Amino acid sequence: MSTDAPLKIAVTGAAGQICYSLLFRIASGSLLGDRPIELRLLEITPALKALEGVVMELDDCAFGNLVNIEIGDDPRKVFDGVHAAMLVGAMPRKAGMERGDLLSANGAIFTAQGKALNDVAADDVKVLVTGNPANTNALIAMKNAPDIPASQFNALTRLDHNRAKSQLAAKLGVPVTEVSHMTIWGNHSATQYPDLFNAKVGGKNAAELVGDEAWIENDFIPTVAKRGAAIIAARGLSSAASAANATVEHMRDWILGTPEGDWVSMAVPSDGSYGVPEGLISSFPCIVKDGKYEIVQGLELGEFSRAKIDASVAELVDERNAVTELGLI
């Protein structure tokens, strides 16, 4: 993509909770700094009126780099020529639900949007799915867009990644900037595996610094994996500002590159790395250079880590089977 033309960025679910933070972060430069952007905002027809109000507020911010905003309810028009697509629009879960319970409600959204992206998006489009269940929704979009390389479809596990960094920093009483090489493996669900055995704090092995495997297993992992539910219980609504922040960070790193000497967690189509079946959209440690991500190779996985990753991957296989039965892929 050229660096001076406005980058066309599509965002779905634009009148919803996450987007009420996300759109303003994108427009104020958190995504691409000074680069001019054009926003393409997709909503369902009944939400277009509310979206008009959000656009009025975007106008009222007078953001210097926001050169144009288009809104609509037809993905084939909204996605036309876009270089980045953040697929947020989907129903959130309520208290007592798992994210996978949303598959039948939300899955169909991603067949239509995958087809539209396939037909009208720019060839280099980067598609990031935030709407839950994010990994399998990304799989649905990817399978419905056969002309777009699979590597251009990701799902969001950056929120889990940030949660894990924050919990670890708090446990060790260090600034979060000391934490590096965090990895979320698997699904954005309660089975995800936040890995402290490969993470570092101040350059030293995080698990060794913690020195308490019971805390890792019984406190750290469930706190990170069930954080979404804890926020729903507290707020009565699912996470929004932190989800928007993670969505910006994932797309920013995918376009501009990951920080030197570190990696991030991205749910990407598996190439078979670490024994994850090819094609499943599973979270891995990734680095990005020149707009292309690579799965970090050669990390050591002990028996504990292996079993945790296998359990999360088994859930992704079940989800893939469920959407196959629903005829979505």
Ligand X SMILES: NC(=O)c1ccc[n+]([C@@H]2O[C@H](COP(=O)([O-])OP(=O)(O)OC[C@H]3O[C@@H](n4cnc5c(N)ncnc54)[C@H](O)[C@@H]3O)[C@@H](O)[C@H]2O)c1
**186 touches ligand LMR (CB under 6 A):** no
Q: How far apart are CA 206 and CA 222, in angstroms?
A: 17
Q: What angle do CA 282, 288, 290 make, to 5 degrees?
A: 135
Which of the listed partners (ligand X, ligand LMR, none) does 43 bind, with a CB threshold of 5 to 8 Å by partner kind?
Answer: ligand X
Q: With CA atoms as reference, report the closest residue to 182 among 211, 202, 206.
A: 206
Q: Binding-site residues for substrate, please?
A: 93, 99, 132, 163
Which of the listed partners (ligand LMR, ligand X, none) does 156 bind, with a CB threshold of 5 to 8 Å by partner kind?
Answer: ligand X
Phi (first) and psi of residue 85, to 5 degrees: -135, 120
Of 58-66, 120-128, 162-170, 235-243, which part binds ligand X (CB under 6 A)?
Answer: 235-243
User: Any idea which residue has 């969001």 for tokens?
Assistant: 156
Q: With CA atoms as reference, report the closest residue to 131 among 163, 106, 108.
A: 106
Radius of gyration, alpha carbons of the chain: 19
Maximum pairwise Cα distance, the chain: 55
Cβ closer to ligand LMR: 39 or 167? 167
Which of the listed partners (ligand LMR, ligand X, none) does 137 bind, with a CB threshold of 5 to 8 Å by partner kind?
Answer: none
Of 11-19, 60-68, 143-151, 203-211, which part binds ligand X (CB under 6 A)?
Answer: 11-19
Among positions 9, 69, 122, 159, the unique one binding ligand X when judged by CB under 6 A: 159
Q: Binding-site residues for NAD(+), please?
A: 13-19, 106, 113, 130-132
Name 282's Cβ contacts closer than 8 Å, sequence gap at least 6. Answer: 135, 185, 186, 187, 267, 268, 270, 276, 312, 313, 316
**249 touches ligand X (CB under 6 A):** no
Q: How many residues bind ligand LMR (CB under 6 A)?
A: 11
Q: DSSP secondary-structure letter at 276? A: P
Name 244's Cβ contacts closer than 8 Å, sequence gap at least 6. Answer: 18, 19, 21, 22, 25
- The yes-or-no answer on residue 188 being catalytic is yes
Among positions 136, 238, 282, 305, the unique one binding ligand X when judged by CB under 6 A: 238
Among positions 228, 247, 316, 323, the unique one binding ligand LMR when judged by CB under 6 A: 228
Q: How far apart are CA 16 and CA 60, in angstroms?
A: 19
Q: Segment 60-119, which members bind ligand LMR (CB under 6 A)?
A: 92-93, 99
Instruction: Out of 83, 161, 181, 188, pick the active-site residue.
Output: 188
Of 143-151, 194-202, 236-244, 298-306, which part binds ligand LMR (CB under 6 A)?
Answer: 236-244
Q: Tell me the catalytic residues.
A: 188
Q: Enumerate binding residues for ligand X (CB under 6 A).
A: 12-13, 15-18, 42-44, 47, 88-93, 109, 130-132, 134, 156, 159, 188, 238-240, 243, 246
